[in-house]
């Protein structure tokens, strides 16, 4: 019997981070159809994105943690997904972030969500290391990683050695 261990919800001043739900699948597919998804494995076809959404849910079952859907407090509409990501073959555990729509950028939403996830990873999940894998050219995410106090680690192992990217390493107490 499947029981999702990720019924956990995190809260920040303005945001709610909850587990992904089937009702989020359309927003997820819509984002992955856009060029905005180019730095996170997209753009994808509807079929690919649907499967990937299934993977987001299954990740919770496989690992006991996963990516949260981020919403404004009191509004269930998904703004993006932020959280903990560690698929098989990933060299290290990651905190990652995606905002579905450019109109939500520049308001500190990803920062606020990523910061609570980093804190949760250190304190509740007891992770020893945290990295963020960022594609070359994704300047907005590099800026956010730096704002979170992460530093480029050029010696770190790459999750996809065939298409290397930046590895930003988070440090306890930095964010």
Question: CB of 151: closest distance to other proteins in angstroms?
Answer: 26
Identity of the residue, 56 or 94, whose beta carbon is nearer to other proteins in the bound complex: 56
Q: Both tokens of residue 38?
A: 């180019």
Question: CB of 58: closest distance to other proteins in angstroms?
Answer: 3
Identity of the residue, 25 or 140, whose beta carbon is nearer to other proteins in the bound complex: 25
Identity of the residue, 75 or 162, whose beta carbon is nearer to other proteins in the bound complex: 162
Question: CB of 87: closest distance to other proteins in angstroms?
Answer: 5
The runs of H, that is alpha helices, within 64-133 are: 109-123
The runs of H, that is alpha helices, within the chain are: 25-32, 46-63, 109-123, 139-147
Question: CB of 150: closest distance to other proteins in angstroms?
Answer: 23
Q: Which parts of this chain interact with other proteins (CB under 8 A)?
A: 1-4, 6-7, 18-19, 21-22, 25, 29, 45-47, 49-59, 61-62, 87-89
Distance CA 165, CA 136 (A): 5
Question: CB of 6: closest distance to other proteins in angstroms?
Answer: 8
Identity of the residue, 2 or 154, whose beta carbon is nearer to other proteins in the bound complex: 2
Identity of the residue, 49 or 81, whose beta carbon is nearer to other proteins in the bound complex: 49
Q: Both tokens of residue 123?
A: 């304190």
> Taking the C-alpha atoms of 152, 154, 157 and 158 in order, what is their torsion angle to the nearest 10 degrees?
70
Cβ-proximal residues to 163 (8 Å cutoff; 6+ apart), any chain: none
**With left for phi above 0 and alpha for psi between -120 and 50, is residue 133 left, alpha or beta?**
beta
């Amino acid at each position: 019997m499947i029981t999702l261990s990720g019924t956990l919800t995190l809260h920040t001043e303005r945001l709610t981070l909850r587990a992904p739900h089937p009702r989020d699948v359309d927003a997820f597919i819509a984002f992955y159809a856009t060029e905005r998804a180019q730095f996170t494995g997209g753009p994808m076809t509807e079929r690919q994105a649907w499967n990937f959404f299934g993977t987001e849910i299954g990740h919770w079952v496989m690992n006991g943690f996963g990516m949260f859907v981020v919403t404004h407090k009191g509004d269930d509409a998904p703004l993006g997904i932020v959280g903990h990501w560690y698929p098989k073959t990933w060299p290290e555990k990651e905190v990652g972030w995606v905002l579905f729509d450019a109109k939500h950028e520049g308001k500190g939403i990803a920062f606020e969500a990523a910061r609570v996830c980093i804190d949760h990873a250190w304190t509740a999940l007891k992770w020893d290391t945290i990295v963020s894998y960022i594609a070359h050219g994704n300047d907005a995410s590099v800026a956010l990683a730096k704002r979170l106090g992460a530093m480029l680690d050029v010696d770190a192992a790459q999750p996809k050695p065939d298409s290397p990217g930046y590895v930003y390493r988070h440090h306890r107490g930095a964010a």
